[in-house]
Amino acid sequence: MKTNHWLRSLTLLSILLTLLVSAFSVTGVSAARTVPVEELERTWDRQLDNLRLQGLFYDNIRLYPADFEDLSDLERAHFYLEKFGLALRAANTLVVTHPGFDFNGKVTNQLQATQTIRAMANYLQVMRGMRNKLGELGLKNVIR
């Protein structure tokens, strides 16, 4: 059982590191196409709205053993929810540091803002994928 927890933690850590590396190692590629400042600001605002909704989902979801016929499904649901929470915390950390944006969501550095947008998109994609996995388990309170 202890090995299973260690393996799960290692898997989650590797996912987080992969997302961070993929988001911030594309400086040469992002310089090739300059995204207008207004588009970056609109995208950041939409992503923050989406992140708020994901946070509400995470705060309100409850996993009860009675909702599952097979306890292995409950275990998988907890695993997916744990991955969801990891992506949510990483995204919230990105919001706190907001590289490339000021406190009001205005672009201060176009390259950093582009990288931040991409990183946030990766985190939101992981959260969407985990919600879909939870929905596949037949949970009624999961909206895809």
pLDDT digits (tens, 9 = 90+) for 22-48: 555 444 444 447 889 999 999 999 999
Range of the domain at 133: 44-63+73-144
Q: Specify whether the CB–CB gap between 83 and 3 falls below 8 A.
A: no
| Contacts made by residues 34-42, CB under 8 angstroms, sequence distance 24+ | 34/110, 35/110, 35/114, 35/117, 37/107, 37/110, 37/113, 40/100, 40/107, 40/110, 40/113, 40/114, 40/117, 41/101, 41/105, 41/106, 41/107
**Total of domains in the chain:** 1
Please check whether residue 89 lies inside any domain of the structure: yes
User: Looking at the domain assignment, is residue 105 inside a domain?
Assistant: yes
Q: Per residue in 77-114, pLDDT tens?
A: 999 999 999 999 999 999 999 999 999 999 999 999 99
User: In the chain, what is the straight-line distance between the N-terminal and C-terminal CA atoms, in Å?
Assistant: 32
Give a yes or no: residue 102 inside a domain: yes
In a domain, 13, yes or no: no
pTM across the whole model: 0.75
Instruction: Identify whether 81 is part of a domain.
Output: yes
Domain annotation covers residue 96: yes
Check residue 35 and give its pLDDT. 86
- Answer whether residue 123 is part of any domain: yes
Residue 20 in this model has a pLDDT that exceeds 60: no
Q: How confident is the model at residue 139 (pLDDT cuts 50, 70, 90)?
A: confident
Residue 34 lies in a domain: no
Of 3-7, 31-35, 86-90, 116-120, which range is least confident? 3-7
